[in-house]
Structure 1
Amino acid sequence: MNTSPFKVAGLTGVSMLALVGAGALLLAGPAQAASPASTARSITASGAAPLSGPAVTSTDGSAKSGGGGAASSDGTIKISGSTVTAGANKANAQISGLNAFAGLVNVASVTASCDNGKVASAVSGTPSLGSKGSVAVGVVGTTPDGGKSITALRITINAGKGVPASTIDVGYVACGTGGGTPTPSGSPTGKPTSSPTVSPTSSPTSSPTGKPTSSPTTAPTGKPTQPPVQQPPVVPPAPPVPPVDDHLPVTG
């Protein structure tokens, strides 16, 4: 008698594994591509006065936020305040009180937004640098992971001889175009790769062992039938026997 613990309803462990694998394939849907990261930065500067202000990045769709003022180490570039947020395919940056290079640059406020790949920006108080530099507003770009980006204000200062130029980016945001948190978009497409390969290997291992639990509860209602009784044949009486003379006659 086979009593293997791996047999259930006539299936062996091998066939059970095959069924489990088939179910896993049916449940598995198409792989979802990773959504581009969402990023918001208040201000960055390179060159003569490096600066990196408050910034946040969301890579998994969760909401991130930050903010505050910032200034370069020598104080030549600074902002009085900022608010930056990033989440699932969304990013926003608000900056106030930009001042740089002893009043050469003064900007009251800068905003930038990215919503499912749609970017926008606004600048209040755009500076005019003339020959001392250049100003660009609403610089749109594409991120390495396929998202959209915009820099609300980019300022480039022409430095003198022997002094590196300075580039200031104010209000940078980037996000993906997924339209929100990715969700499965189709039905499962996987198919089982194999059928169970093992058939039941044993018959039922025991016979019924129970006994009838009750006797008939109703007595027969009919009467037994009997064959007719055979009567012995009638024999007629034997005829009477005549008397016999047992005396012999006497002679001479």
Structure 2
Amino acid sequence: MKTSLKTGLAGVSMLALLGGGTAVLLAGPAQAAAPTSSAYGLSATGAAPVGAAPSATSNSAERTATGAAASSDGTLRASATVRASAGKASVQVTGLSGLGGLLSGTATATCDGGKVSSSFSGTPAGPLGAKGTVTYGVTGSTADGAKFVIAAQVTVKAGSGTAASVINIGYAACGPDGGNPNPTPSNSPTGKPTTSPTASPTSSPTGKPTSSPTSSPTGKPTTSPTTTPPTGTPVPPAPPVPPVAPPVQPQDDHLPVTG
């Protein structure tokens, strides 16, 4: 069982390496959602608040809104046209008036792929009355990472230096992805490697040896024995010659003379 598991894992690794078949790759962390684009014409806090209006938000198709905004006591008002789509937002403000005639003008603000710009024509930047301050082109980032710009911001302080109200005129925010709310990661696997092996391994056998072994026998000896068995009837060896008897010594027939 362990051998089969190891073999299977090895096969998946090889398929992923060579681009053959389908290999399952572990996914990394999920991509964060693209920042939402938004825009509005006028907002205010304090004794005479104004909710952000008119407004539009989107992270896909463009949304547009046109209308007027005003405080409940009528001391602050403006009209605006806003647009928002994936990676883009814009606003045009006209007819601004407020603070007893101290505040007036027109404004524009745009955001494109996280790059912001704005303009304001009317009440100059700097001190406004006894307790107010006008600031042009206020920029920053939202909680989801969008870049924003406010064409003009008016801060009115209370007695002890704390802000009594803040007025934002012409707000636009968008993500820094250049209009693509779901960018595709550049290091994401496409299913196959970008390059495939161009050749088979040079060390793989071709199926048959290119030459026969020189030391293997061919099946028969290349030369015959130099001696051959006799072709005729074998002749028996001659019988041994009997030994020759020793010669007989001649004897003297004369008897010895005795006296």
- SS of residue in 1 equivalent to 2:107: strand
C-alpha deviation, 1:180, in angstroms: 2.1
> 41-50 or 122-131: which moved more?
122-131
Task: Name the residue aligned to 1:100.
Answer: 98
Q: Deviations over 1:192-222 (max 9, x none)?
A: xxxxxxxxxxxxxxxxxxxxxxxxxxxxxxx
User: Structure 1 residue 63: deviation in Å?
Assistant: 1.1
Which SS does the other structure have where 2:24 is aligned?
Answer: helix
1:232-247 equivalences under 5 Å are none
2:22–2:191 Cα contact (<8 Å) kept: no
Tell me which residue corresponds to 2:50. Answer: 51
Counterparts of 1:68 and 1:100, CA distance in 2: 17
**Other-structure match for 1:86:** 84
Aligned AA (2:57): T
Change in CA separation of 1:74 and 1:146 when aligned onto 2, cut-off 3 Å:
same
Matched residue type, 1:188: P
Q: Which has the higher contact order (CA 8 A, sep 6+)?
A: 1
How far apart are the structure 1 equivalents of 2:188 and 2:134?
Answer: 51
Contact 1:30 1:189 in 2 (8 A): no
Q: How far apart, CA to CA, are the structure 1 residues paired with 2:183 and 2:163? A: 48
CA distance in 1, matches of 2:28, 2:140: 33
Contact 2:88 2:112 in 1 (8 A): yes
Q: Distance in 1 between matches of 2:24 and 2:64?
A: 40
The question of whether the paired residues in 1 share the 8 Å contact of 2:156 and 2:163 is answered with no
- Name the amino acid aligned to 1:49: A
Query: 1:25 is matched with which residue?
Result: 24
Q: What's the CA shift for 1:165?
A: 1.8
After superposition, the CA RMSD in angstroms is 3.0
- Aligned equivalents of 1:126 and 1:119: distance in 2? 22
Measure, in 2, the Cα distance between the counterparts of 1:165 and 1:139.
19
CA distance in 2, matches of 1:151, 1:23: 51
For 1:170 and 1:137, locate their aligned partners in 2 and report how far apart those are by CA, in whole Å: 10
- Map 1:100-119 → 2, pairs under 5 A: 100-107=98-105, 109-119=106-116
- Cα 1:123–1:164 shift into 2, 3 Å: closer
Q: Cα deviation per residue 1:152-208 (whole Å; 9 max; x = unaligned)?
A: 1000123569x98221001111111112223423452679xxxxxxxxxxxxxxxxx
Point out where structure 1 has 5 or more consecutive residues left out of the alignment: 1-14, 192-252
TM-score normalized by structure 2? Answer: 0.57
Query: What amino acid sits opposite 2:97 in the alignment?
Result: N
| Cα distance in 2 for residues equivalent to 1:103 and 1:48 | 18
1:26/1:189 contact within 8 Å kept? no
Q: TM-score, normalised by structure 1?
A: 0.59
Equivalent residues, number: 168
Q: What is the alpha-carbon distance in structure 1 between the residues aligned to residue 55 and residue 137 of structure 2?
A: 19
Q: Secondary structure at the match of 1:99?
A: strand
- 8 Å contact 1:29–1:189 — kept in the other structure? no
Distance in 2 between residues matched to 1:105 and 1:143, nearest whole Å: 27
Aligned twin of 1:135:
134
Q: Secondary structure at the match of 2:189?
A: coil
Match of 2:38 in 1: 39
Structure 2 letter corresponding to 1:73: S
Secondary structure of the equivalent of 2:130?
Answer: helix
Distance in 1 between the 2:144 and 2:118 partners? 22
Q: Which residue matches 2:118? A: 121
State the AA in 1 paired with 2:85: G
Partner of 1:188: 189
Relative to structure 1, the CA distance from residue 26 to residue 75 in structure 2 (aligned partners, 3 Å threshold; closer, same or farther) is: same
Query: Does the Cα contact within 8 Å between 1:27 and 1:190 map onto a contact in 2?
Result: no
Classify the secondary structure of the residue corresponding to 1:69.
strand
Give the SS at the match of 1:174.
Answer: strand
Q: Look up the SS of the partner of 1:62 in the other structure.
A: coil
Alpha carbons of structure 1 residues 104 and 61: separation in structure 2 relative to 1, 3 Å: same
Compared CA separation, residues 132 and 31, structure 1 to 2 (3 A)? closer
For residues 156 and 187 of structure 1, the distance between their equivalents in structure 2, rounded to whole angstroms, comes to 48
Rounded Cα–Cα distance in structure 2 between residues aligned with 1:57 and 1:24: 40
